Structure 1
Amino acid sequence: MITSVMRVGETAAIGLDDLLLDLSGLKVGDAVRIQWHEDGMLVVTPLGRAATKQELAASIRRVSKTVESEPAP
């Protein structure tokens, strides 16, 4: 995804599309940690609760038409 840095009041923001929000489990207002690395990479890590297996599976189904079920034990 290519996006841009936008001015929002006296701060800056980076826009995320709905797919990226869905895949990451982020919602507007969620807390995130942003880390800068010397190679110029920014890493955004959601804070708070982890997604459930059901939430992750639902996100995958929205992105991919084919989701393999777990093999039988």
Structure 2
Amino acid sequence: MTKTITKVGNSQGIIFDAALMDLARIKVGDKVNVTVHPGGSIVLTPIHPAIDPDTAATTARRLIKKNAALFKRLS
């Protein structure tokens, strides 16, 4: 895929269309890690925030409670 660097205010930028954003599973406001390799390649890697332990535990308890009958049948 080829993109053109465009002027955005006093900076430069690359416009990502909706299809590219969907493929990368990113949205406006998401953070990305930018890596510049020795040959000049620029790699953008989405940063997906880790879930905090309390939220994970709460979500797990809710899902276990919601699916208790299913888990019982599977055991």
Higher RCO by CA contacts (8 Å cutoff, separation 6 or greater): 1
TM-score by length of 2: 0.58
Secondary structure of the equivalent of 2:23? helix
Structure 2 unaligned spans of 5+: 51-75
SS at structure 1 position matched to 2:27: coil
Q: TM-score, normalised by structure 1?
A: 0.60
Alpha-carbon distance between aligned partners in 1 of 2:16 and 2:28, rounded to the nearest angstrom: 10
Task: List runs of 5+ in structure 1 lacking aligned partners.
Answer: 51-73
Paired residues in the alignment total 50
Name whichever structure is richer in helix by fraction: 2
Which SS does the other structure have where 1:20 is aligned?
Answer: helix
Q: Distance in 1 between matches of 2:34 and 2:16?
A: 14
Determine what percentage of the aligned residue pairs are the same residue. Answer: 38
